[in-house]
Amino acid sequence: MFTLSGVRKFYDWTHASLTLLLNHLSTIPATEYAKDVPGFGFPTVCAQVIHILNCEGFWINTLQAIPFDDQDPANWPTVSDARLLQSEVSMRTLNYLSRLSEQNLIAPRSCISPMETSRSGRPHSSSITS
């Protein structure tokens, strides 16, 4: 069973880890951040970072029954841009968590798959459907 305290700790850990990653990425040349990486999950490190933030945004919106549009990596081409998006996504998540109670954390809810709400057209390997 999940607890509200546990969810908040997981959120804190996740964003602290993401911040460490962005700190490291800020030390590499911008050309490497935007360079195609064959065999990688997404074509570039930049696209992978934006995907991670899109995942959080998708699920927070889905839990609130709010439509979500994926952010395009082309609109967030630098590590500094990714930090801005991280801040935006984080604010939405913290806002959601601030209104969440133990009772509605464990309440059953129906979730639809990312393919039904995301415009990216990319399948997601861990879809939850009801």
Asked if residue 102 is part of any domain, the answer here is yes
pLDDT one-digit tens code per residue, 100-113: 888 877 777 666 55
Asked if residue 61 is part of any domain, the answer here is yes
Asked if residue 100 is part of any domain, the answer here is yes
Q: Which domain holds residue 75?
A: 4-117
Asked if residue 130 is part of any domain, the answer here is no
Q: What are the residues facing 36 on neighbouring strands?
A: 44
pLDDT one-digit tens code per residue, 65-115: 899 999 999 999 999 999 999 999 999 999 999 998 888 777 776 665 555
Q: Which of 6-10, 101-105, 116-120 has the highest mean pLDDT?
A: 6-10
Alpha helices in the chain, H assignment, sequence order: 4-25, 30-33, 45-63, 79-99, 102-106, 114-117
Asked if residue 55 is part of any domain, the answer here is yes
Return d(Cα 109, Cα 121) in angstroms, integer: 24
Read off the pTM.
0.81
Asked if residue 127 is part of any domain, the answer here is no
Asked if residue 124 is part of any domain, the answer here is no
Asked if residue 34 is part of any domain, the answer here is yes
Q: What CATH number is associated with residue 102? A: 1.20.120.450
Looking at the chain, the whole-number percentage of residues with pLDDT higher than 70 is 82
Is residue 1 very low, low, confident or very high in pLDDT (cuts 50, 70, 90)? Answer: low
Count structural domains, the chain. Answer: 1
Lowest-confidence pick of 11-20, 101-110, 111-120? 111-120
